A and B are shown apart, each in its own frame.
Chain A
Amino acid sequence: MKEQYYKSIRKNVLMSMILIPVIPFILSLGTGYYSFTSSLENSTISSMKRIMEDHSQMIDSFLAERMNDLEFILNTYSYEQVSSPDTLSGIFKNLQAGSEAFVDIGVFNDSGSHVAYHGPYSLKWKVYREEDWFIKVMKKGYYISDIFLGYRQVPHFIIAVKKHKGSSSWILRATIDTQMFTDIVEKVRIGKTGEAYLLNMEGILQTNLRSGKKLMEKTTDPVRYPDSENEIKTFIDKDINGEEYLFATAWLKDKEWVLVIRQEKADAFKTLSFVFNLIVFISMTGFILIICSAFYITERIINHMKQMDFEKEELGQHLIRAQRLAELGEMAAGFAHEINNPLQIIRSEQALIEMNLSEFKESGTLTPSESLSEIDDSMSQIKLQIDRCASITQAILKFGRQSEPKLQDVDLRSFIPQIIDMVAKKASVNGIDIIQDISLATPPVHGDPGHIQQVLLNLFNNAMDAIAEKHGSSGGRLYVESGPKDNKYTEIIVKDNGCGISPENLKKIFSPFFTTKPVGKGTGLGLSVCHGIIDNMGGVMQADSEPGKGTIFSINLPVSRK
């Protein structure tokens, strides 16, 4: 029952101790993680976009510059001039000085025949009229090809520009080294896995990939094209191996090529995973700490509760005992009260008998004899026993009905000697020296002087009885001391060199009806009444004794604060 109750309380306390800190903890961690993630993603993506912009610009301007190179030649030289090989080789040297990307240069007439050529191959007078590039350049006026293998089975791409000459036209064509071109794109490096490549509209790779794919192969990446010319599209998708990548794409070359930058997501968000791990670690540690402290605190709370409950129960028991004792006192008082009536009658009867006896004696009806003196003796004995009974009932009534104390400040410096005077005669008869040590600094106490007197007289009488038992009629010593203790209490000490109290009796001296005195000498109520009086005054009464050496009673009473 009780264990069940503690269990449920423990559960509740534990849950609240864990949940209440964990909720804000998780919220703050979550918020932190979320904002960090989004800012990191933003910065990663924007840095990717920046690289994208730089490189697309670089490639666009590279292409534009090569075009301009050719346009410059077209506008500077006439068809006749560039058709002569010597001039063309001169022009080519100039071109190569400008950019090493130029591999060769050729001049075509409008029917697609090679008119002049300078370069590592012998391609002169080949007819290109059916070639795709030729048709496009004739139509549009300029052309940049995809990378193709052509007759030479070597990857390259060409730039061709058309020039009108009256009704006919001619074309200048240059081959650009793919290696030179690829370098620009392949130089792009982001993190460990970040790379860039070019695709044409059919998804054919125009550059090599560091990750292994080769030029002219078809890409396996899921490419999504930007919606407009100037837009950079970013997205996250899986490649063929199911690896997640962060992609960015942008149009180049009038939407014919796509520049793709990709980076493994894990690589791109490496810091993120580090932070994620850190957060997991922090939360784990946090949880462990919270749970441990919750357990610890809960245990302490529960133990404290148990302690309190135990004390409460003790107090309850104590109250019950006190109540029982009070009831017992009431009962004893009632009992004593009832006994008093028959005792009164017995006393009267005994007085009547005595009176009649003395009348008989006077009238001579009864002559002195052994029997008569026996009767007289019995009579006086009956009287004695009645007195004894009377004193017992009086003591019980005193114990059972503590009168209301009349409180006042008592100056012990004069009060204690007065009480000592009361027993001085008895002490001198028994040859007891009373040694007083009443300090002038003894603080006054607040209480009923009658009660204090009762307590002290009781202690003095007990002490003198104990002394008489050990020393007879000489050599006894009774010490009475008083003085301040701490600054809250006044201490009174009553010490004797009497017979002492055995340890097992010392435990019981304040219990009611406990006495070691011979039958008829003590009721066993004295010290218990004294203890009650001192308790009521808010004080403490203690006894310490060494059998055969003596006994010390100490009383600590609160100092009067007035």
Chain B
Amino acid sequence: MEKMKMMLVDDEERFLSTTQKLLDKKGYDVVTASSGAEALEILNSKIIHVVVLDVKMPGMDGIETLKKIKTSFPLTEVIMLTGHATVESAVDGLKSGATDYLMKPTSIDDLIEKAEEAFNKWKILEEKIRMAQSKKFMKSPREILKDSATD
């Protein structure tokens, strides 16, 4: 069973570090990024299952970052962290492919709960993909041979 890998994206350094410590203590694997650009870099080099993304950031804002993540890494689950009381920005996020949203100031328990949910979603999706791929293997052994030949 795979372990959840999380990434926190926020421009508030202290929030990142403290939340990271908390999640560490709870036994989660967390990386942090203080901007959208940095988050995208990390995603390029590491496998991340769940991203917790702040909507309001200087430079590339949350929605923009979300869109980029979804185009480059469509399987990654993204939870939006919004300061708006209205659900407008959250709706924008959901429309752009976010899994869920959290209202600031959020409690660590809520964050963990939503992250777990998202991770479960990811796992189901992953399972489906694996199944589909194994079907592919059943269908054409030639291709497997071809694939292994080119490796």
Contacts and interface: CB of A to CB of B under 8 A. Distances in A.
B34 interface: no
A329 to B, nearest CB: 12
8 contacts: A343-B105, A345-B18, A347-B105, A348-B18, A352-B21, A397-B83, A397-B86, A401-B88
A340 interface: yes
Contacts of A349: 14, 18
A532 B88 CA distance: 19
Q: Which of A336, A341, A344 has the most chain B CB within a 10 Å cutoff?
A: A344
Contacts of B83: 337, 340-341, 397
Interface of B: 12, 14-15, 18-19, 21-22, 25, 56, 83-88, 103-108
Contacts of B25: 355, 359
Contacts of A343: 104-105
A403 B86 contact: yes
A403 B86 CA distance: 7
Nearest to A402: B86
A345 B86 contact: no
B84 A401 contact: yes
A220 B97 CA distance: 125
A274 B86 CA distance: 89
Given A337-B83, A397-B85, A401-B86, A390 B22 contact: no
A340 B105 contact: yes
Contacts of B87: 403
B85 A351 contact: no
A340 B105 CA distance: 6
Contacts of B12: 341, 344-345
B88 to A, nearest CB: 6
Given A348-B22, A349-B18, A355-B25, A397 B84 contact: yes
A386 B105 contact: yes
A348 B108 contact: yes
Contacts of A351: 22, 107-108
A398 B127 CA distance: 41
B58 to A, nearest CB: 12
Interface string A173-206: 0000000000000000000000000000000000
B85 A394 contact: yes
Interface in A190-241: none
A512 to B, nearest CB: 15
A351 B88 CA distance: 28
A403 B21 CA distance: 36
B16 to A, nearest CB: 9
Interface in A519-548: none
List the 8 shortest-distance A-B pairs measured between CB atoms, nearest first.
A397-B85, A344-B105, A348-B18, A343-B105, A340-B83, A340-B104, A394-B85, A347-B105
Given A337-B56, A348-B19, A390-B105, 10 more contacts: A340-B83, A341-B104, A344-B105, A351-B22, A352-B21, A355-B22, A359-B25, A397-B84, A397-B85, A401-B84
Contacts of B56: 337
Q: Is chain A's interface secondary structure helix, strand, loop, or mixed overall?
A: helix
Contacts of B15: 341, 344-345, 348
A394 B12 CA distance: 20
Nearest to A395: B85
Contacts of A403: 86-88
A345 B22 contact: no
Given A337-B56, A341-B12, A355-B25, A347 B86 contact: no
A116 to B, nearest CB: 148
Contacts of B107: 347, 351
Interface string A377-419: 0000000001001100111111001010000000000000000
B94 to A, nearest CB: 15
A159 to B, nearest CB: 131
B104 A398 contact: no
Contacts of B22: 348, 351-352, 355
B81 to A, nearest CB: 8
A345 B14 contact: yes
Nearest to A400: B85
A346 B21 CA distance: 14
Nearest to A358: B25
Given A348-B22, A349-B18, A398 B86 contact: yes
A397 B83 CA distance: 9
Contacts of A393: 85
A519 B88 CA distance: 30
Q: Which of A352, A386, A389 has the most chain B CB within a 10 Å cutoff?
A: A352
A337 B107 CA distance: 17
A265 to B, nearest CB: 97
Contacts of B105: 340, 343-344, 346-347, 386, 389-390
A393 to B, nearest CB: 8
Nearest to B14: A345
Contacts of B103: 394
A471 B87 CA distance: 38
Given A337-B56, A351-B22, A352-B18, A344 B85 contact: no
Nearest to A341: B12
B84 A337 contact: yes
Nearest to B85: A397
A346 B19 CA distance: 11
B12 to A, nearest CB: 6
A344 B13 CA distance: 12
Contacts of A348: 15, 18-19, 22, 108
Nearest to A359: B25
A546 B11 CA distance: 53
A27 B103 CA distance: 84
B106 to A, nearest CB: 7
B106 A344 contact: yes
A3 B103 CA distance: 58
Contacts of B18: 345, 348-349, 352
Contacts of A346: 105
Contacts of A352: 18, 21-22
B100 to A, nearest CB: 17
B65 to A, nearest CB: 17
A394 B105 CA distance: 10
Nearest to B26: A355
